Structure 1
C-alpha cells in the first residue's frame, strides 16, 4: 500500500492526538485535542505518515538553539514519535525522519536531538547517545553537613529577578555542550509563568550583590520525611559557595521533607561540594544527538589549535556522507568538502560513521574510544587532533521534550 508523508494539518489533530495517547498513555479524562488557535500558536513542526487506512505514524519537531562549543547552535528536537502497533516494523519511522530532517536543514538546523524510548531504533538513523538527563534523589538530612558558604547568602527571587536567573543559566550553559538555550518557545517562558510554575525560586547572592546561582523548586505534598519528596528543576551554581548556600537552603526542609529529587546530568560541579554522594537515580533519560550539516556544525568554532589541518570522511548516512578537511585559521574552524569518494577516503584520512560524528562533536567520546566502538576507522595519525578539537566541555542536558 502506498504511503504519503506530509506535514500534519489541523484536521489531522484528532488522529494525531489519538496515536500519541496510544503510544505514551492516555489520561483518565482522555487525550485533549488542542484548539485551532492553540495548535497554530504552538510553533511545532508535526509530520505524519498516511496510508489507505489513515494516519499510521507521527512525530513532532521543536526548533530551538542549544549550546555547543560556546555558541548557540540551531537544533531540531524530535519528540512524540509514534507508530500504530499494527504497522510497526514497516519502515514508516525512517521515511518520517527523512522528510522532517530535510525540512529542518532547509530551516537552518544543523543538529537534531531526541530522548529515545528505544535507542536502537534511532541509532540506525544516525543518532547516538551523548548524555543523560536524570532525576536523582538526594536525602535532605545529608545536606545539613554541607559546609557553610563564605560571602554568599540566599533569598527568594521575584519576577524582578528574572533577568538575573536567565543570566546565571546562560553563563553556565555556554560552558557546556548540550543545554537548550531557553531562548525560544516552548523553553522560553514569560517571567510571570516561570515563577508561577514553582513553589519558589531561590537566588544565591555574592557579597557584590551579583546573582551567582539559583534553584527552582516545588515543595510537594505532606510533611512526613519518610514519604515526602520535593522536586528541584534547576540547581545551578557559578561558584562553590553558591552551591553550598543553595544545598543548605534546601536542606533546611529536612524536618518535613525527606528527599530532594533533582533534575541533573553528568557530574555537575554543584554536586562536588556535597559531603557524600548517598544518592539514587529515580529516572534516567538518555539523550541522543545527530549532525544534520557537517560544515554548519563543525565550522565556525573557536579553537586554540591554530594551524591544525585534519582531513576526515563521514560514511553511512547518505545526507551527510562525504570527504572533508577541517582547518583552524584565525582561531576559528573552517570545513571544506573534498572531491574524494567516501569509499576511497579510508586510504588517507580517518572515517567516521554518523553515530561517531555525533559522539565526537559533543565531546562525549575520544577518537580512541570511537575506534573501540567501531565508529572510527582509517589512519590514526589525526586522532589526537580530532579529540582535542572537540573536547573540553562536559555534556549536560536540563530540559526534557
Structure 2
C-alpha cells in the first residue's frame, strides 16, 4: 500500500463529498457536490490521503483567529474528518494531520482546535478537551423571576446596529479563552445576512445610550408552551443589568413558548443573574486544543508576574518536544529555547505532555490537576507560578464548525 497525502483539488470533490456522506450521513435528496465557484470562495483548505487515485481519508482546515489571553491568536480549525471504514486504524489519520498541521504551522497558525466525535482519537495527536459548546434548554417560566434591570432597556436591532453587536462580542471574547473572533470566513457574516438569519436581535442599552449586550434568537414554531422551543444563538452581556434585561425579554415569550434553547459554554457569567438555574443540556460538543508552535503561543502574553522565570519541557509529538525557559519582562512573556534533551530535562524541570500543554495554555486545568491526570511530571516547585501565568480567563466558545 502506497499512500499519498496532498491538498484536495476541485476534481476530487465528488469523492470528498461521498466520503463525507459516509461519515456524517446523507440528507434527504443527497449531498450536492459544490460548484467550482462555491468551492473556491469558501476559504478553507482541504487535505486527502490517497491510495493511488482513490481518496481514503479527508479533513478540512478553517483558518481563523480565536481569543486567548486577551489577544486574537491565529488558529487552524479542523473539521470534516473522515476515513473510509475499511481503512480505519491503518494510520491514515496521523499522516493526514501531520501534513495539514505542518502547513498550518508554516503559515503562522500557532494553535489548532476541533470538535471531536471521539476525543480519544485526537488525544494521541496532541489535542485535549479544554471546554464544551453546549445547547442548554431553559424553562421560560423561570425567567419571569429575574429581577428588573436598573438603567438598562432593550430594543430591536437593525442593520445599522451591526457594528455595536460586533463590538459587544469582541469586548466579551477578549475576556475569555477560546472564542472565535468572527473576523474571518466562515464566521464573519455580512450585516444583512446576519440579521436575516434571525427572527430578532435584541440589544441591551444603558442609560448613556451604549449597547452593553445583545441576544440573537429564532422564535420557532407553535404557541403551546409544552412543545414550543425558541433558539437563542447568543446571549452576551457586558453588565449584570444587561443580562437581566435580555433574559427578561426572552422570558416575555413564556405564555406561548415553554423552552429557550440557549447556546452557551461553561459557567457563563450571564447566567449568574438567574434566580433559578434549572436547565437541561440538549447537546454537548467538547472542544479540543493543540499547540502548534510553543514559542508562538506562549510568548507575548501580558502578565503581571514581572521577573518570573520558569524552565519547563514538553514531551510528545516531535514538533512539540523540547525544553524552554519562560520569563516575564516588560509585562509580557518571553520564551528561550534550551538545547537540552527532554529526557534529561525531566530530572530538573517540570515536563508537560502535549495534552497538558494545551490544558495549561487554555487555563482549563491547574498544575495540580495536570499532575493528577499524568500530564505534568518532574519537580513541583514551579507549579504555582506556572499555573498563575496562564490563569485568569475562563474557556468559552460560541461557534461550531
TM-score range, shorter chain: over 0.9
Mapping of 1:113-132 within 5 angstroms? 113-132=113-132
Mapping of 1:2-401 within 5 angstroms? 2-52=2-52, 54-401=54-401
SS of match in other structure, 1:192: helix
CA shift for structure 1 position 77: 0.2
> Does the CA contact (< 8 Å) of 1:63 and 1:75 recur in 2?
yes
SS of match in other structure, 1:204: strand
> Does the CA contact (< 8 Å) of 1:63 and 1:74 recur in 2?
yes
Q: Residue deviations 1:74-133, cap 9 Å, x none? A: 000000000111111111000000000000011100000000000000000000000000
CA shift for structure 1 position 53: 6.1
**Number of aligned residues:** 401
CA shift for structure 1 position 353: 0.5
Q: Residue deviations 1:16-37, cap 9 Å, x none? A: 0111111111001101111000
| C-alpha separation in 2, matches of 1:233 and 1:107 | 32
TM-score normalised according to structure 2 size: 0.99
Q: Which portions of structure 1, spanning 4 or more consecutive aligned residues, are displaced by more than 4 angstroms?
A: none
> Does the CA contact (< 8 Å) of 2:149 and 2:241 recur in 1?
yes
Please report the RMSD computed on the Cα atoms of aligned residues, expressed in angstroms: 0.6
Q: Residue deviations 1:26-81, cap 9 Å, x none? A: 00110111100010011110000000360000000000000000000000000000
| C-alpha separation in 2, matches of 1:105 and 1:200 | 40
CA shift for structure 1 position 182: 0.5
Q: Residue deviations 1:275-311, cap 9 Å, x none? A: 1111000000000000000000000000000000000
| C-alpha separation in 2, matches of 1:329 and 1:362 | 21
> Does the CA contact (< 8 Å) of 1:303 and 1:331 recur in 2?
yes
| C-alpha separation in 1, matches of 2:320 and 2:52 | 33
| C-alpha separation in 2, matches of 1:41 and 1:219 | 31
| C-alpha separation in 2, matches of 1:282 and 1:32 | 29
| C-alpha separation in 1, matches of 2:32 and 2:356 | 40
> Does the CA contact (< 8 Å) of 1:113 and 1:289 recur in 2?
yes
> Does the CA contact (< 8 Å) of 1:114 and 1:289 recur in 2?
yes
CA shift for structure 1 position 336: 1.0
| C-alpha separation in 2, matches of 1:379 and 1:275 | 45
Q: Which runs of 5 or more structure 1 residues have no equivalent in the other structure?
A: none
CA shift for structure 1 position 173: 0.2
> Does the CA contact (< 8 Å) of 1:136 and 1:283 recur in 2?
yes
TM-score normalised according to structure 1 size: 0.99
| C-alpha separation in 2, matches of 1:24 and 1:339 | 45
Q: Which runs of 5 or more structure 2 residues have no equivalent in the other structure?
A: none
SS of match in other structure, 2:311: strand
Q: Residue deviations 1:223-272, cap 9 Å, x none? A: 11111100000000000100000000000101111000000000011000
> Does the CA contact (< 8 Å) of 2:143 and 2:247 recur in 1?
yes
> Does the CA contact (< 8 Å) of 1:317 and 1:353 recur in 2?
no
SS of match in other structure, 1:304: coil
Q: Residue deviations 1:164-223, cap 9 Å, x none? A: 000000000000000000011110111001001100000000000000000000000111
> Does the CA contact (< 8 Å) of 1:168 and 1:213 recur in 2?
yes
SS of match in other structure, 2:363: coil
| C-alpha separation in 1, matches of 2:236 and 2:78 | 26
| C-alpha separation in 2, matches of 1:37 and 1:400 | 24
> Does the CA contact (< 8 Å) of 2:4 and 2:52 recur in 1?
no
> Does the CA contact (< 8 Å) of 1:314 and 1:354 recur in 2?
yes
